[in-house]
Structure 1
Amino acid sequence: MSILEVENLSVSFKQYTDGFKEINHKVISSLNVTLEAGKILAVVGASGSGKSLLAHAILGILPSNANVSGIIKYEGKELTPIRQTALRGKEIALVPQSVNFLDPLMRVGNQVRTSVKNGDAVSAQRKVFERYRLGKEVEDMYPFQLSGGMARRTLLSTAMVSDAKVIIADEPTPGLDPVVIKEALDNFREFADNGCAVMLITHDIESALQIADKIAVFYAGTTVEIAPVEDFVGNGEAIRHPYTKALWRALPQNEFRPIPGSQPHPSSLPPGCLFEPRCEMATAECRQAPPKMRELRDGMVRCIHAT
């Protein structure tokens, strides 16, 4: 059952040149994803592909110079700015990429307790701290007193006690030791198994494949493929989009083969398929117009040549 739907989302940022000329850089275009209750959608892609911006758009925390179009629905109703404010941190929780999201003036134990909606807040905070190997003394510390790994575990704790229906985890594991990484991933899986919808934003496709149900691949601000995790096997024969295939082949345990070129900057996007300048399958038709997302073999793909 779908709980959150993003339809044709586009995000641009208004900027001014040295001559005070106004320009708009489109950083997300025609982006589509769906989060389902009881499922984990892993969002993967290179830096600058729009992964974190998607999370911030859903939560309504984009900067003031952002222009947003498209529709975001939560439980079948449009997620308006008023609903975003009401649901943020309650029914929709974020595990942010930056530890700067912690309030520098509040002890971290109290910060976690403010996210507890049911039951005894102190007990819930201490239980989750124990689970993440944060000693009792940590609850009385301020964020500046924490190591990077401790701060990330505190952010994880905040989401875990929230009883949210949707958890958006934006690169939640950098700086954590392997034991805590595995436990955090297992906890996300546990949340999904209990009916929560989880979006895991990550560069680490290998970790995503351990717990996710589907993989959404982003490139230059849009979705190029959404595929079941079962398709990521062998030489990637079941994968649909050439960029996704390239990501898969670039892993060390596969061919470890990078592709030439780089992701285009928002100020210089190609007129047709965004991946066309780097694609071995590209034809003249690929340069005419951006391809639309279409269904293919129990997945979705944005490529006219995918079969």
Structure 2
Amino acid sequence: MPILEVENLSVTFRQYASGLKERNIRAISNLSVTLEQGEVLAVVGASGSGKSLLAHAILGILPANAETAGSIKYCGETLTAKRTQSLRGREIALVPQSVGYLDPLMRVGNQVRTAVRNGKPAEEQRKVFKRYKLKSVVEKLFPFELSGGMARRVLLSTAMVSGAKVIIADEPTPGLDPEALNEALLNLRELGDQGCAVMLITHDIDSALRIADKIAVFYAGTTVEIAPAKDFTGDGEHLRHPYSKALWGALPQNGFTPIPGSQPHSAALPPGCLFASRCEKATKECHQAQPDLRELRNGKVRCIHAT
């Protein structure tokens, strides 16, 4: 049984336009993904594809104007608001994208210590700081005194000492020098090898491929493909969805090949396949209904033409 199951998740935001006219913006639609114990799953896609929103939905920290549909299960049981609150920071931990999650009035060493579940808090905090090459003086600093890279390492340290069974790392590596980046990736991989389930949300496919078991590709708020990491190779001939192939081909080492058009805005999603307007294989049927996510070649794909 997967430790975390997200099935047909939709997230809609109520907003008010001019004249207090209400409108609903669907930022995530029919998104499905699973996370196994001992697995590192990388979630990739363009900005606005729903990656960070997925993390916030799992942790129950969406804003008040958000409405959700679908289901999220942890260890086979539905995550209710009450259960999510009891698990957050204990069994499910977040390495957030924004350093604004640090308490501005609390020294960072003490913040990390409050997350320690096993061992002596001060010893564990100093041990993880040493691992991430944060000098001893850093523990006495306030967040505003940290550089961006230092703040990200503090956030990563907090998750590492939590003893959580599921760690969701939302863009944890920007601002890190190559050595610190490599250390952070290896630590996430080590957590997976020790039985923890890791979801790595990132724009950096190259870094993700160094440690991930599977890659989930998001587009316009939904999952278009889930594939073994080994399928991201060569010309992308082992990939299933046209967008995954285009994303792979857009990397500098793969030709830096662009495709026309842009990702649709969440306020104006088309009725059919969300990628159809940019896809060379699109047919009339593609514009009529969003395809289901189906099993194909040891992976999953949301495309009626994928073979």
TM-score category (smaller protein): over 0.9
Write the mapping of 1:71-90 to structure 2, written as runs, cut at 5 A.
71-90=71-90
The residue number in structure 1 matching 2:65 is 65
Q: Name the % identity.
A: 73
Query: Which residues of structure 1 form unaligned runs of 5+?
Result: none
1:272 equivalent to 2:272? Answer yes
Task: Measure how far apart 1:252 and its partner are.
Answer: 1.0
In structure 2, how many angstroms separate the alpha carbons of the residues matched to 1:94 and 1:178? 23
In structure 2, how many angstroms separate the alpha carbons of the residues matched to 1:104 and 1:255? 44
The residue number in structure 1 matching 2:136 is 136
Q: Please state whether the residue corresponding to 2:252 is helix, strand or coil.
A: coil
The residue number in structure 1 matching 2:290 is 290
Task: Measure how far apart 1:118 and its partner are.
Answer: 1.4
Aligned AA for 2:9? Answer: L
Write the mapping of 1:205-216 to structure 2, written as runs, cut at 5 A.
205-216=205-216
Q: Please state whether the residue corresponding to 1:155 is helix, strand or coil.
A: helix
The residue number in structure 1 matching 2:304 is 304
Task: Measure how far apart 1:203 and its partner are.
Answer: 0.3
Write the mapping of 1:3-82 to structure 2, written as runs, cut at 5 A.
3-82=3-82
In structure 1, how many angstroms separate the alpha carbons of the residues matched to 2:107 and 2:113? 10
Aligned AA for 2:187? Answer: N
In structure 2, how many angstroms separate the alpha carbons of the residues matched to 1:295 and 1:30? 16
- Structure 1 runs of 4+ with >4 Å offset: none
Name the count of aligned residue pairs: 307
Task: Measure how far apart 1:297 and its partner are.
Answer: 0.3
TM-score, length basis structure 1: 0.99
Q: Please state whether the residue corresponding to 1:203 is helix, strand or coil.
A: coil
Task: Measure how far apart 1:20 and its partner are.
Answer: 1.2
Task: Measure how far apart 1:74 and its partner are.
Answer: 0.3
The residue number in structure 2 matching 1:201 is 201
Task: Measure how far apart 1:19 and its partner are.
Answer: 1.6
Q: Please state whether the residue corresponding to 2:18 is helix, strand or coil.
A: coil
Aligned AA for 2:106? Answer: M
In structure 2, how many angstroms separate the alpha carbons of the residues matched to 1:48 and 1:227? 21
The residue number in structure 1 matching 2:218 is 218
Q: State the Cα deviation string for residues 192-243 of structure 1 (Å, max 9, x = none).
A: 0000000000001111111000000000000000000111111111100000
The residue number in structure 2 matching 1:108 is 108
Q: State the Cα deviation string for residues 97-127 of structure 1 (Å, max 9, x = none).
A: 0000000010000000000011100000000
In structure 2, how many angstroms separate the alpha carbons of the residues matched to 1:256 and 1:179? 26
Write the mapping of 1:138-217 to structure 2, written as runs, cut at 5 A.
138-217=138-217
In structure 2, how many angstroms separate the alpha carbons of the residues matched to 1:253 and 1:277? 26
Task: Measure how far apart 1:68 and its partner are.
Answer: 0.5
Aligned AA for 1:171? Answer: E
Aligned AA for 1:238? Answer: H
TM-score, length basis structure 2: 0.99
Task: Measure how far apart 1:48 and its partner are.
Answer: 0.2
Task: Measure how far apart 1:268 and its partner are.
Answer: 1.0
The residue number in structure 2 matching 1:123 is 123
